[in-house]
Amino acid sequence: MEIPYTVTARPDTGLWNAKIGIWLFLASEIMLFGGLFSAYVFLRIGADAANPWPHGLLNVPVGTFNTFVLISSSMTMVMAWASLKMRKFAQYRIYMGLTILCALAFLCVKAYEYNDKFHHYGVWLKNGEFITGHLEENTPESLTILPDIHHEGRHFWPETEHGAPREIKKADIRRWSNFTPKFSPFFAIYFTLTGLHGLHVFGGMVVNIYFWLPGSKLYRTNPEHLANRVEVSGLFWHFVDLVWIFLFPVLYLL
């Protein structure tokens, strides 16, 4: 028993099975990220005086670089598929390898960004003052913070200057935390959205590695089938890129 239309299209729909499957899957992904984006909108509209929506907390040059990386990977992905369609296997191997490399680079940059945030702290004092900076020392009675120095206006390059160490009594602190999800609604949605997106990048990368190495054996027996499979993983990959195209301005720039 063979399931029909795995490689060739069904005449009346003009589609092979996996193409319908992946588009349906992407439709549900639209709703998944749609749910999170609508949460973002909801939280942002509802931001109150205690938690004003922050601007410029993320590293824009790094984010821009990562956007370039992901866009390039999308281009190499579509080229990998086109190479298979033109039956140029060596070229496919190169482009697919580049796609995987880009995915890896993206994840590494993301890890660097996360790590950077985890080492940044924010302190709310009971008198209403709010200080961010690097943690120098943490004793049971007090914190020592190297406070960030903020200049007027918005800056492309992140501000890395620090003021003189400042000791803060724990008794004066209302709440303090590093820049983790629990820090504020902004970081909550930032880490959730980018974390989920990162998982998608990782998943796509694993699938691509499979089609790059063991899965590419299929080329010898049925090159069209391999091309179809790569098209499917490509559709997923472009979708991941597409989500990032929205994530980048929404989280980094606005």
Partner 1 sequence: MEISASPAHVHHGEEHAHEHHDPGFLGKYVFSTDHKVIGVQYGVTGLIFLFFGFCLMLLMRWQLAYHGQPLPVLGPVLAKIFPKEMPGGVMTPEFYNSLGAMHGTIMVFLGIVPIAFAAFGNFVVPLQIGAPDMTFPRINMASYQAFFIGGVIMLVSFFCPGGAAKGGWTSYAPLADITDRAPNMFFTGQTMWLIGMVFLITSSLLGSVNFITTIIQLRAPGMTWMRLPFFCWAQLITAFLLLLAFPPLEAASVMQLMDRVAGTSFFLPTGLVVNGEIVNISGGGSPLLWQHLFWFLGHPEVYVLILPAMGIVAEVVANNTRKPLWGYKAAVFSALTLGFLSFIVWAHHMYLTGMGARVSSFFQTTTILISIPSVIILTALLLSLWGGSIRFTVPMLFATAFMPMFGIGGLTGIPLAFNAVVLYLHDTYYVIAHFHYIVAPGTIFALFAGVYYWFPKATGRMMNEFLGKLHFWPSLLFINGIFMPMFLQGMAGVHRRWYDGGASYDLAKPVLHWNAFMSWSAWLLCVSQFPFILNFFWSIWFGKKVDHNPWHATTLEWEAPSPPPHGNFLKPPVVHRGPYEYSVPGSEDDFIPQGKA
Partner 2 sequence: MNNEHSADDHPHHDISKHVRRYMGVFLALLLGTVVTVAASYIPFKSNEVNIAVALAIATVKATLVAAIFMHLSAERWTIYRFLIITVVFAIGLFSLTALAFSDHIHR
Residues that bind partner 1 (CB under 8 A): 1-7, 10, 13, 15, 17-18, 20-22, 24-25, 27-36, 38-39, 42-43, 46-48, 50-51, 175, 177, 180-185, 188-189, 191-192, 196, 207, 225, 228-229, 232-233, 236
Give the nearer residue to partner 2 in terms of CB position, either 38 or 138.
38
Shortest distance in whole angstroms from residue 99 CB to partner 2: 12
Name which of 196, 219, 240, 216 is nearest 97 in CA terms: 216
CA atoms of 52 and 37, how far apart (whole Å): 18
**CB closer to partner 1, 20 vs 108:** 20
| Dihedral sign for Cα atoms in the order 11, 14, 16, 17 | negative
Q: For 54, phi and psi rounded to 5 degrees? A: -80, 155
- Taking alpha carbons only, the member of 178, 74, 187 closest to residue 132 is 178
In terms of DSSP bridges, do strands 130-138 and 121-125 run parallel, antiparallel, or are they unpaired? antiparallel
Angle between helix 185-212 and helix 17-45 axes, rounded to 10 deg: 160
Write the binding mask 26 to 65 for partner 2: x where contact by CB under 8 A, - elsewhere: -x--xx--xx-xx--xx--xx-x-----------x---x-
Is residue 130 a contact residue for partner 2 (CB under 8 A)?
Answer: no
CB of 19 to partner 1, least distance (A): 9
Q: How many residues does the chain have?
A: 254
Q: What type of residue is 162?
A: H
Q: Would you state the structure tokens that stand for residue 23, as one six-digit string? A: 């588009």
Pick from partner 1, partner 2, none: which does 82 bind, CB < 5 to 8 A by kind?
partner 2
User: Would you tell me which residues interact with partner 2 (CB under 8 A)?
Assistant: 7-9, 13-16, 19-20, 23-24, 27, 30-31, 34-35, 37-38, 41-42, 45-46, 48, 60, 64, 67-68, 71-72, 74-75, 77-79, 82, 85-87, 154, 156, 224, 228, 234-235, 238-239, 241-242, 245-246, 248-250, 253-254
